[in-house]
Each structure stands twice: as structure tokens, then as C-alpha cells.
Chain A
Amino acid sequence: MAFEGDLVRSVAEPIVLRLVGERPMYGYEIIKVVNERTDGAFEWKEGTLYPCLHRLEGGGLIASEWRTAENGRRRKYYAITRKGAALLREKVEEWSSFSVAVNSLLLTCVGA
């Protein structure tokens, strides 16, 4: 099932924060992890991811660092900052309340 672009974009930033909060990740890895965990439901294009990463970095929510992988390839890793972690906690709480509220409306209506 493919989701609407606006819907995906609205949750892109909390998702990226969540992923780079687990461990430092580079762009290609983030795409892979998202696609794996959502079983392909979120088919993120890189064109969506990189502006999101740069916006977050510009806001000081994540920080980047170039590293050289074992195979010699240079990758830019992103890691969450303290500011980003605080915002992520807020977003998770917000999403939790929001999803409960939406579920209580949408799922009840469907059931009725």
C-alpha cells in the first residue's frame, strides 16, 4: 500500500530522528532501513530524504560526520543531537496522542 506524499512527508522528520537516534546512519542506510522496516510501504525517494536530513542538520537536531568505511567508501553519517533527542520525545508523545485520537474516531466510524 502506498501512502500519500503529504502524509509521508509529515512524519519523515520524526522517523529520521528516531533512526539516527538508534545509531549514526548514512543516507543510503536510512533508506534501506525504512524500506525494510515498513516492508516497502514507505518507498522513500532520496530526493525526499536528503532535504529532510539537511533541514534537521541546519536546525541543529542532527549532526553529520564523514567517515571512511572498511571498503574504503566515504560516507556521511548522521547522529542525533541533544536538541534532536528532546524534540523526538515531544514528537513521539504528540504522535501517540494524535494516533489514539485519530484511531478513536476513524476506527470507531469504520466499525459502526
Chain B
Amino acid sequence: MDATDPIYRFTEAVTSELKDDAELRLDVSAEVRSHIEEAAAALRAEGKGEAESLELALKAFGSPAEVAGALGAANRRRMRLRALARLAARAVLVPAALVVALVVCRRHVRLVGEAGAWLSLGSSGVGSPSGGGSRGLAEETRFLLHGDESRPTQAGRQRAIWQAHPENKVYFGNYVTHLVQEYSAESEGGPSLEMMEEELGQGEGLDPENGRYPLLLASLWAERACTLEEREAEEGNGEPQAAFAVKDRALLGRAMAKVLEGAEKPYLRTYSKEMLCERLRALPPARRLEDQIGRVAWAAGTLLPDCARHRHLAKLIPHCAALLASEGKAAEAEALLGAWEPLGVKMGEDAFTLVEILVAGAVIQAGSEASATELEKLGRGERAAAMRARAKQLAAPLEAWKAGRKTFDHDQERRLIQEAGVLDGMLVPAIGADTLKEIDLDRGRTLEQTVVEDLGVTVCVLMLLAVALGGLVAALRWRWARGVPAAPLLVLPGWRTSVRILALGTIVPLGVFYVYTRWSGLAGREYSLGFLGHRFGLELCLLATTIVGLTVAMTTSAVRRRCDELGLEVPPRSRWAPPLWGALAVLWVLCLVQRGQIPLGHNLGAMAYLWVGGMLVVLLPVMVVARWLTGRREHGLYLGTIARSVIPALAAAAILVGGLAHPYLGEAEARLVAQETTLSGRDDLVGFTRVEALLVDRLKRQLAEAAAQPPSTP
């Protein structure tokens, strides 16, 4: 652009009315220049001199002022439309892309924050005021979840719920659960024994058929009246030793009477399940994995203080019976020795977690054996044998399950862990492959894969916006750089080219990935993230890199062509592009040949996949932006124009990726979460996960069947 060039001066003059549209002005200038050069060349061919030819060619064009006016009028409508398009690209596309990014990212920020808050809530028990999982809930729901948060103790908060509904046995049971949790015979800070006696007495009045309150009272009195220290079995002596000492004989007698009273009640209910169900029903419906995790964490925080107390009572009973026998009260002792059975069976009936079932089993086994031994000492060998036979009958389901866990096929276990979701897979060693065989493992695995895919979408959207931000920085860099002839242009490719860029750069890669992962059978989606996470992660990084790379490459190509037409100084094509595309292709092939046999976290190769994926996601934007920033000064206008013009395309791609994939994956996730009804608040709740529920349900049913059968003969 030489100001002394007559053609330059002329084109500047005739395009002066187009100054508001720099690209159009350059385009018309190039066209006018081409015409004048053509006309002058023709005149030279006719034999005229160079200067004369140029002068005649310029003169033939007409008066610059008149031509400028005519060109301005002819292009006014077009300039208005183009200005609107540029405004839309800057003021609509870019903000819309930022909104999409915020929506997409918010979910993952929430996933981490919410899960952390729920987990901390779970560890501190239901009703913790520090729980972040209850934010945004209605006041009534918050009260049901936390109680009166202004009260200093957890039991006090839960008491407020019961006080609001004094006839409600469930709320009272929940209050007592927290009261028992806070009570300590040694500590002076918690509730006193007198208070406990008063409240448990109130429970007996409110729920007279429930054996829980007499049994808890028996437990508290026994704790005060005697001590029982168990010691490990010594070398050469197979029997564990126990030191039983009585501190208050009268109180112990009252405790044992309460044991018998509680054992005779029709049922034994803590109402922990009912309270949890009511709270779960009050929560908004679960739509996301984090909601599901939150519910499991919430449920896992359920207090079960009765278990330890009932187990301790079952251990005390034979010692108390021996004491009674030593005092010559054989009939009372014999009656007490039969208490383990109703205690264990009724605990099993009330159980809704594996822990409770296991404790019920321990009460049955330990209580029955020690009681049978005491019966033998009393000379009731026949009854002792019958007691052992009955205990064996009742403990059979648990014994069968434990035996199954010891003998299951390790290959099968490994296969199940590979197929199950991370949560289900973690339970395989504890629960046993036999249980997992009965349920569909696809759902948990697919749910986790869907959430990770959504994370991949977020990474892709962030990559697109990071490159767009880099484009803005590069455009500003060349806008203010010395020696660059003009500010970078915003060149918008035609609508057909734009559609092609978005279709080939975004929709086709997403579509191909969809078909590859859902329909091809090559993506190894039959393996869990724990085994295929490395390949899964690399594939998502490759998808994001491919979308960003294609969008940048195709937009750059279109804008480069346009810059060439406009007469801008264009540098040679980058030599890095072909090797980069080749490397991407090689990595895709590596993913295809990698089978899901590597446990994530235990293999350097697997970690290398994730490392390469992470490097791609970081390096591609850095390389692209570095290319725009570090060109030669004479190419500054071109580089700035490319960087500026790529921004709307990247924003549109981010909108498409976030707008198409995020809602689709969200719906798929909601559908899968809705199918998980274990913690939906149904009254038949057994267990915190469907795997545990399946096992607890089976063991409860088998225990009830065994209890309903007549005692077997020894």
C-alpha cells in the first residue's frame, strides 16, 4: 500500500464511502485496481506510453467523487446487512458460547462440590448443619432433614421434628437414635441416664408394642450395672476369655427383666429405614449422578447405634444367666437364655442394611452358642442341643452367603468388576460375584461413562473458547503492533462455507463418535471406567482436539483464501499441519487396537494414554495461538485477520457441541438415574445400592423363612 501509487490513491478515493466496512472496501479496491491495470495494459498494447495508459485508464473510470458516491449508494444495503452479521457474530455468538460454557461447566463444578458436601454430611450424620446438599430446599424439607438447626445438639435438633408431630413414632424413633448416639455412660457432656430413662419410658408409652425401648433401657442399665471385657484366645487355649464383673446387682436384675420384656414384644423397630425413606421422598427427584451419590452418602450417614447395644446384650445374657444360676434361680436363668432368638430374629426383620443383617446373624450365632453352653451347665443338654440346631437353622442363609464368598470364581469376579460400574465393582469383593450375577451391570457402567462423556464435552467447549480467547489476544496484538498497515479484519465466510465448517468440523465428528461408541462394537464400552478409563479419556481428548483442529483449519482455509483475494500479504502454509493430523490419526488407531484389559492406575501404559490425551488438550490451543502470535510483521494483518475471524466459528462450534451433546447426555443420564430406584424413598428400601439391596432382601427373606419354620430336631 504505497501512498504515492496513483492507483492506490484512486482506489482509496473511489471507495471512501465504504470505509465502515474494511473488508468490502479492500475487495472493491482490489477489483477497481484489477480493472485499471487491465485497461492500462490494453492501452499499452495499443502503443501508448505507460504513464499515458495509466492516466487514460483512470480517466475512463470517471470522476472519483461521483464513482465513490455511486459505489456507496450501491453497497449501502449490503454494508448494513454485513454490519448486522458482524454484530451478530460478536454480540450474539460469543456471549451465547460463554453462556453455554457456563451451563456446561456449572454441572461439573457442582458435581465435585455437591458430592463433597454430601459426603461430609454423610460422615457427620443426617441433620448436620454443615451439609451443603440441602441448599435450595424448601423450609419444610430442610426442617425434616436437619430439624431445628438453632439447637446445640443433634439429638435436640431431631427432637424438634418429633415435637412438631408428637404422635409420630418414626420421628420419636429418630430422636431416640440420635439420643442414644450422643449418650455415653462415661462422658458427662451428653444426655444423663435419668434423661435417657425418661425419654425411653416415653417411647414405651408411645409405641408399647415395640421392643426397642425396653431393650435400650436394659442396655443402658446393664452398662451401668456390670462390665464385660473380652480377651483374645490365648496360645494353646482355643476359647476366648471374658471377664464379667457386677457393679450393681439390683440394677442388673432390672436390666435382665427389661431384656425379657423387650424380647417378648411383637416387634423391634428403630424406624431408621422409615425416617430415611421419608427424608429421601422429601428430596427433589434425582436427575444426575451427583444426586445419586448424594443419596448414597446421605443414606450411609444413617446412624445405627442399636446394633452395638443389642450385640452387647446378647453377649451379656449367658453371663447374667450364669449369675442367676449361681444364685439358685435356674428357671429365671433358663428363661433368659432363650432371649437371643427373638432378639436376633426381630433385628433381622427390622434390618434394611447389610450391617444390621450381619449383626442380627452375630446375635444369633454368638448368643445361641454361649446360651447353649450355659444350658448344658444347668443340666439341660437336650434343650442346649435343640438351641444349637435352631441357631444353625436361622444362621444358615448367612452361612451359605459367607461360604459362597469364599469359593467364588476369581476369574468371574474379575470379569464382573470389569463390566460393572465403579460403585458396583467396588462391592464385588464384599458382596460376592454370585449376587452380582443376578443384576444388570450395564446401567451403572453406562451411567458413569455418560457422565465422563459429558466431562469430555465440557473439555471440548473450554478448548474452543480457549482458542477463541487466544484469537482475541492475537488480533489485539496485531491491532497495536507497529508496522502493520491496518487493523485486523473480521472476515465472515459465506453462509454455505460456514455451514460446511460447522457440519464437517463439529456435527460429523460428534456423529461419528456417537456411532463409534454406541453402534460399532469397537469402542469397548462393555468395560467399566476402572478398566477402560484410559482409552475412554484419550478418545474424548481426541474428539475435542479433532473438533477444535477441524474448525480452526477449515475457517483458516476459508479466511486465507479471502485474504488472498483482498490482496493481503499471506505467509506460506504451515508445515506442522500434516504431521499433526497424522499424529491424531495414529492415536485414534491406538485407541481402536487397545482392548480394555488394563486396570486403570496400575499400569504405566494406561497412565500414558491419559497423559497424551491431556497434553493434546493443552498443546493444541497453545500451538494454534502461538502460530497467530509469532508471525512476521508483514503478515501481521493476515495473522490478526485469521485470529479475529476464527472467533465466531469457534463460538458457533462451542454452542453446537454444548447445545447438542450436553442436553443429550443429560437426558441419557437422567433416564439412567431414574431407573435406579433403590434410594428413591420407597417403603421396601433394603440397602443403599441396588447390589446391597439385592443381597439384604435375599438374606432377610431367607431369615424370615427360617424363623417361620418349626425348630429342627438336633
Asked if A23 is at the interface (CB within 8 A of a chain B CB), the reply is no
> Does B73 contact A51, Cβ atoms closer than 8 Å?
yes
Q: How far is the CA of A55 from the CA of B74 in the complex (A)?
A: 5
Asked if B62 is at the interface (CB within 8 A of a chain A CB), the reply is yes
> Does A28 contact B61, Cβ atoms closer than 8 Å?
no
Q: Give the number of chain A interface residues (Cβ < 8 Å).
A: 19
Binds A, one of B34-42, B338-346, B694-702: B34-42
Chain B 58-71 interface 0/1 with A at a Cβ cutoff of 8 Å (1 = within): 00111100110011
Closest to B566 in A: A66
Contact flag A47-B78 (CB < 8 Å), given A54-B71, A73-B37: no
Chain A 26-54 interface 0/1 with B at a Cβ cutoff of 8 Å (1 = within): 11100000000000000001111011101
**Residue from B28, B32, B34, B67 whose CB has the most chain A CB atoms within 10 Å:** B34
Q: How far is the CA of A58 from the CA of B75 in the complex (A)?
A: 7
> Does B37 contact A27, Cβ atoms closer than 8 Å?
no
Q: How far is the CA of A28 from the CA of B30 in the complex (A)?
A: 13
Q: Give the number of chain B interface residues (Cβ < 8 Å).
A: 23
Q: In the complex, which residues of chain A have a beta carbon less than 8 angstroms from the beta carbon of B77?
A: 58
Asked if B565 is at the interface (CB within 8 A of a chain A CB), the reply is yes
Contact flag A46-B35 (CB < 8 Å), given A66-B565, A74-B30, A74-B565: yes
Q: How far is the CA of A28 from the CA of B38 in the complex (A)?
A: 7
Asked if A18 is at the interface (CB within 8 A of a chain B CB), the reply is no
Q: In the complex, which residues of chain B have a beta carbon less than 8 angstroms from the beta carbon of A28?
A: 34-35, 38-39
Contact flag A47-B67 (CB < 8 Å), given A55-B74, A66-B565: yes
Asked if B31 is at the interface (CB within 8 A of a chain A CB), the reply is yes
Q: Per a CB cutoff under 8 Å, which of A45, A57, A73 touches B62?
A: A45
Chain B 19-46 interface 0/1 with A at a Cβ cutoff of 8 Å (1 = within): 0000000001011101101110000000
* Chain A-chain B contacts (Cβ-Cβ < 8 Å), number: 63
Chain A 72-88 interface 0/1 with B at a Cβ cutoff of 8 Å (1 = within): 01111000000000000
Q: How far is the CA of A45 from the CA of B36 in the complex (A)?
A: 12
A residues contacting B by CB (< 8 A) are 26-28, 45-48, 50-52, 54-55, 57-58, 66, 73-76
Q: Would you mind naming 28 contact pairs between A and B with Cβ atoms under 8 Å apart?
A: A26-B34, A28-B34, A28-B39, A45-B60, A45-B61, A46-B32, A46-B60, A46-B67, A47-B67, A48-B70, A50-B28, A50-B31, A50-B67, A50-B70, A50-B71, A50-B74, A51-B71, A54-B28, A54-B74, A54-B78, A57-B78, A58-B75, A58-B78, A66-B565, A74-B565, A75-B34, A75-B38, A76-B34
Can you name 19 extra interface pairs (CB under 8 A) apart from A54-B75, A76-B31? A26-B34, A27-B31, A28-B34, A28-B35, A45-B60, A47-B61, A47-B67, A48-B70, A50-B70, A51-B71, A51-B73, A54-B28, A54-B71, A58-B74, A58-B75, A58-B77, A73-B38, A74-B34, A76-B30
